[in-house]
Chain A
Amino acid sequence: SNDAENTAAHHRNTLQFNTYSHRKQLFSVCVTLSEATEEVSLDSPERQPILSDGPSPVITPVTPVMISSRADVFDRSPDQDEDEEENRDTFDIQISVSDPEKVGDGMNAYMVYKVLTKTSLSIFSRDEVCVKRRFSDFLGLHSKLASKYMHMGYIVPPAPEKSIVGMTKVKVGKEDLSSVEFVEKRRSALERYLLRTVKHPALLKDPDVLQFLESSELPRAVSTQALSGAGILRMVNKAADAVNKMTIKMNESDAWFEEKQQQFENLDVQLRKLHASVESLVCHRKELSVNTASFAKSAAMLGNSEDHTALSRALSQLAEVEEKIDQLHQDQACADFYLISELLGDYVRLITAVKGVFDQRMKTWAKCQDAQVMLQRKREAEAKLQHANKPDKLQQAKDEIREWEGKVQQGERDFEQISKNIRREVGRFEKDRVKDFRVVIIKYLESLVHTQQQMIKYWEAFLPEAKAIA
């Protein structure tokens, strides 16, 4: 039985290792870059204030974003993009999040993760960088990226979710299985988050991302705490957003957007259903594992009680087979969870981010409309002043008209820009989604094949034992 235990342990370790390296392979990225499509200013922007000083709760950046003068870059269809990629040099980047370490104790304790980046890209200062980051650092990074890019229509990958319950257990020092699982789940989620972020061509080159991956010291992102002033303001903004969404009635001139929005609504519903089914599978598979182990013990006892020697032996062997199968179920449950369930959870959150950029476009449109209304009013005001004898006021009115004409033009440009960006982002998202799912499903099916092949091995070993009953 010792042999069986060792093989089982080895098998468990091996499978876990394979799953881990599979995950790394799964998310390691070939990013293709071309200097010509640089859209983002490389000037490092100052820390973005969460507070917005505009009339609407849209977050505006401090430094204006330089848009490439080559407007035709964004007119491409997905097919053309693919051809272009073939011609580019391919660089690559690999990121891993590992070695969770608890720092401090009691309620002030926190986990620190090692973030290792391996790359041949020139924007990085070294081939290999290793830094230590805590969960709030990741949240801080996401918050900065969202404030800089979301209003332009970029789909910024969402950060993993906070969990007060999960973290409290870890802080309090519970070394039980559920805290270990929680830390592993979080570690894996953080890794996937970073890989998705650097997969985005614009985000990869963002100075905040580079700083996050390379800099040994990172200023603490206090504004990410749930109950901080900034946290509360975020909640208020979210509520205001929701209200605004209801009141904006956009005249959609572009059928593509209407179609896509509907598609994403449907996809959201379907993915949530799928996620729920997979969570049910994980739960039932764990139950199956427990019940199989329990049956194995019972079969062993029955074998002991059986007074016919050969049958007694066979029943003990059956118990051993069932024990091995229980281990298989556990490993399979792991694969169910990490490969499928977590991926689905990620995509449900990603879809929310996608819906977010569509909303941003609506807000941009609304802002444009507001500017037009304002311009109209200014024009009316100027017309009235034409007949009054107030030359100063008239001049001021004319100045204001010019100001608002400028704003209208800017608004229209912004709207055009965000529409173009969204088309490109959605195209990229859909391509990535199809690829992601295909890769993950293949990996999952391979895990099922492996499980079944092990089952065949175990049962084939048992068959002669059963036949030996005389």
Chain B
Amino acid sequence: MTSISEDSDKEKVHSVSVDLNNDASLVIDIPDALCERDKVKFTVHTKTTLSSFQKPEYSVQRQHEDFIWLHDTIVETEEYAGLIIPPAPPKPDFEGPREKMHKLGEGESSMTKEEYAKMKQELEKTVQVHEVFLQRLSSHPMFRKDRNFQIFLEYDQDLTVRRKNAKEMFGGFFKNMVKSADEVLISGVKEVDEFFEQEKNFLLDYSSKIKDATAKAEKMTRSHKNVADDYNHISGALNNTAADNNTAFKKHLEKCAEVFEKLRVSISKVEDRMASDQELKLTELLRYYTRDIQAAKDLLYRRARALADYENSNKALDKARLKGKDVAQAEENQKQCLQKFDKLSESGKKELTSFKARRVVAFRKNLIEMTELEIKHAKNSVSLLQGSIEILKSN
């Protein structure tokens, strides 16, 4: 079982989105996560002054599937059609470490320090992304009032029963099937509103670019970690050759052993930290916004659907007037479609504008933090390397 606890740096280091948790009336965080076999149990901690909650503080255990349930219920809520729905956190993926965890459970081998560190990194990432999801909900004026959200935060039993509601599962599946048509629908809309025309063009282009950038960043990060791993092996191997019991050079060799250990720290560990920080700040940022862009596109899709519905209702009204039948009903339908469309447009405009602002701020914060960390690690590495060079040069 592996767990991580909140440390003071965490708030600074992990945040792909900013200005969350600024409102003290509802503050959410995930201070702890337990990894058991291949299930992760998140501890969701809530502090609130809102009267809608029964207690001022809660601490509940939730699994990834609970977050997905919450996301899906929100997506399917008609009222929220004009909002950008915060993207669901991706399933925790432990790859290699998971196999090791299985073996650990069966009492077999023990984890090496490196494997443990990798597990911890994965855990950090997944906690960050689940936490941000909840914080997006809590900081939004409408989502924070959602009934299911409150249940998620409050209910002290596990949510398995609610999740297994067959109807909801089926509904979710259906929705995914329809989604693939969205891009065609969005681009097909004859847009009169210039704001939405621009947004549409921007989102369609940007989403493919950011997806590509995410994939390339992932590859780059992986290579970087491979290099760090190699240095680890090399330092170990260098240490072995220096351990020669050649008494004539014993003093020199003892010095070598000291240097090689220092090198292992300065080169291998630093490279590894550089790679992970780049991943947390850059790759995770890109991953998150790829999903967020998709959520924005989903909003455009819903609006395009509403527009199509409105246009259809117009045609139906004309037909009804021609036939002289059910005109009142058709008029009512048309009025409702127009209302829905207008509401979506108004709310959509606000959401998309604040989305851009949020994106810009997040990129700025993360790029600055990444750059500062890279500089810090590089400076650290330089001083360690120079120390080693001094030792080797001195006789």
Contact = CB atoms under 8 A, between A and B. Distances in A.
Given A274-B234, A311-B364, A430-B248, A446 B372 contact: no
Contacts of B246: 263, 430
Interface in A381-432: 427, 430
B219 A295 contact: yes
Contacts of B57: none
A285 interface: yes
B210 A302 contact: yes
B227 interface: yes
Contact of B230 (A277, A441, A453): A277
Contacts of B216: 291, 294-295, 297-299
Contacts of A462: 371
Contact of A466 (B231, B359, B368, B385): B368
Interface residues of B, number: 55
Contact of B234 (A266, A281, A305, A452): A281
Which of A263, A280, A294, A295 has the most C-beta atoms of chain B within 10 angstroms of its own C-beta?
A: A295
Contact of A292 (B220, B234, B244, B249): B220
B381 interface: yes
Interface string B371-387: 11011001101100110
Given A281-B231, A308-B360, A453-B382, A288 B244 contact: no
B59 interface: no
Contact of B249 (A304, A434, A445): A434
Interface string A220-244: 0000000000000000000000000
A287 B217 contact: no
A446 B202 CA distance: 47
Nearest to A272: B237
A50 interface: no
A469 B367 contact: yes
Contacts of A278: 230, 234
Interface in B305-355: none
Interface string A438-470: 100110011011001101100110110011010
A270 interface: yes
A449 B385 contact: yes
Interface in B225-247: 226-227, 230-231, 233-234, 237-238, 240-241, 244-246
A459 B233 CA distance: 28
A448 B371 contact: no
A191 to B, nearest CB: 24
B366 to A, nearest CB: 9
Most A C-beta atoms less than 10 A away, residue of B379, B388, B389: B389
Q: How large is the interface on A (under 10, 10 to 19, 20 to 34, 35 or more residues)?
A: 35 or more
A267 B238 CA distance: 11
A335 interface: no
Nearest to B230: A281
Nearest to B228: A284
A462 B282 CA distance: 15
B267 interface: yes
Given A267-B241, A463-B368, A314 B363 contact: yes
A5 B216 CA distance: 23
B223 A281 contact: no
A311 B360 contact: yes
Nearest to B248: A78
B209 interface: yes
Contacts of A295: 213, 216-217, 219-220
A456 B216 CA distance: 23
Contacts of B215: 298
B371 A463 contact: yes
A392 to B, nearest CB: 59
A271 interface: yes
A452 B226 CA distance: 18
Nearest to B221: A291
Given A271-B241, A311-B363, A430-B249, A298 B375 contact: no
Contacts of A315: 363
A448 B385 contact: yes
B111 interface: no
A287 B216 CA distance: 12
Interface string B173-216: 00000000000000000000000001000100110011011011
Nearest to A303: B209
B237 A277 contact: yes
B289 to A, nearest CB: 10
A463 B375 contact: yes
A284 B226 contact: yes
Contacts of B379: 452, 456
* Highest count of chain A CB atoms <10 Å: which of B237, B244, B267: B237
A452 B389 contact: no
A285 B227 contact: yes
A299 B360 contact: no
A174 interface: no
Contact of A469 (B227, B230, B360): B360
B209 A287 contact: no
A129 to B, nearest CB: 34
B286 to A, nearest CB: 8
A299 B363 CA distance: 13
B393 interface: yes
B394 to A, nearest CB: 11
Interface in A282-322: 284-285, 287-288, 291-292, 294-295, 297-299, 301-302, 304-308, 310-311, 314-315, 318
Contacts of A245: none
B24 interface: no
A441 B259 CA distance: 11
27 contacts: A263-B245, A263-B246, A270-B241, A273-B240, A274-B234, A277-B230, A277-B237, A278-B230, A284-B227, A288-B220, A288-B224, A288-B227, A291-B222, A291-B223, A295-B217, A301-B212, A308-B356, A308-B360, A311-B363, A318-B367, A430-B249, A441-B392, A442-B393, A448-B267, A453-B382, A456-B378, A466-B368
Given A284-B226, A307-B198, A308-B359, 16 more contacts: A274-B238, A277-B230, A280-B230, A291-B223, A292-B223, A295-B217, A297-B216, A298-B215, A301-B212, A305-B206, A310-B360, A449-B382, A452-B382, A456-B378, A456-B379, A459-B371
Interface of A: 78, 263, 266-267, 270-271, 273-274, 277-278, 280-281, 284-285, 287-288, 291-292, 294-295, 297-299, 301-302, 304-308, 310-311, 314-315, 318, 427, 430, 434, 438, 441-442, 445-446, 448-449, 452-453, 455-456, 459-460, 462-463, 466-467, 469
